[in-house]
Amino acid sequence: MVKKISESIEEFRQHYPRVALLVTVQSNLPRAVAVVTAQAKGRENAMAVSLHMPVSYAPPIYAVAISPNRFTYRLIADSQEFGVNFLPFELADLVASIGGSLGTKIDKFQKFNIARDKPVRTAVPILKATYAAYECRLVNDSGYGDHRLLIGKIEAVHLQEGIFTSEGVLDLDKVNPGLYLGNDLYLTALKDSLRNLDRKVYGKR
């Protein structure tokens, strides 16, 4: 197998496909501070995020990497909390709409007619269409290159009933997870490709 090795790294996107999720936020930051108008009105927003990962199970911690240029980042920095929403593949067009528009220009919840569930431990919007969502409290915000790494302690988990196995694994007969391949390409997991490889057995081979 011939491999090309490069030390001039301009683009690295080989970690795709990944789940594309929606980060949501609510802040009492007036629009005035964010976009320089004058209304003492609370603001909420959502953006698409593909750079994200679980960091710890106990305590439960989740991380997202967000550019400081995003309106969402400003709201998170203000409110110190964010929501992580996982949507099915059938709603990939909503992810593309939310990830392709600016909260400084439009109210995405209104424009895309997004229904919400009530959060229980924070004020972040939770999308009704989500099959799983985390309410996170910001515990760390550090800059790495052109993104901020936001570490959130998960305060509440919203799970659609009947779509996870007893071990907590997503049942692919019930949900097609929305994955992102980069370059505006969306896909889902192929059920027929599923293999159950017991690590205890395979670790001893």
Question: With binding defined as CB under 6 A, does residue 70 bind ligand FMN?
Answer: yes
Backbone angles phi, psi at 180, to 5 degrees: -125, 130
Handedness of CA 125, 130, 136, 140 (dihedral sign): negative
Q: Please state whether the peptide bond connecting residue 17 to the residue before it is cis, i.e. omega within 30 degrees of 0.
A: yes
Question: With binding defined as CB under 6 A, does residue 179 bind ligand FMN?
Answer: no
Question: With binding defined as CB under 6 A, does residue 49 bind ligand FMN?
Answer: yes
Residue of 104, 109, 103, 106 whose CA lies nearest to 127: 109
Residue closer to ligand FMN by CB (options 65, 172) is 65
Identify which range of 97-105, 123-131, 157-165, 188-196 contacts ligand FMN by CB under 6 A: 97-105
Report how far apart, in Å, the C-alpha atoms of 194 and of each of 20, 53, 89, 197 are: 20, 22, 17, 10
DSSP 197: -
How many residues at the interface with ligand FMN, by CB under 6 A?
A: 22
Question: With binding defined as CB under 6 A, does residue 47 bind ligand FMN?
Answer: yes
How many other C-beta atoms can be found within 10 angstroms of the C-beta atom of residue 93?
10
Residue closer to ligand FMN by CB (options 72, 130) is 72
Q: Which of 19, 29, 61, 96 binds ligand FMN (CB under 6 A)?
A: 96
Question: With binding defined as CB under 6 A, does residue 91 bind ligand FMN?
Answer: no
Residue closer to ligand FMN by CB (options 96, 164) is 96
Identify which range of 8-16, 49-57, 127-135, 162-170 contacts ligand FMN by CB under 6 A: 49-57
Question: With binding defined as CB under 6 A, does residue 17 bind ligand FMN?
Answer: no
Angle at 11 between CA 9 and CA 14, to 5 degrees: 105
Q: Which of 35, 42, 99, 189 binds ligand FMN (CB under 6 A)?
A: 99
How many other C-beta atoms can be found within 10 angstroms of the C-beta atom of residue 30?
16
| Residues of this chain that bind ligand FMN (CB under 6 A) | 20, 45, 47-51, 65-67, 70-72, 95-96, 99-103, 147, 180
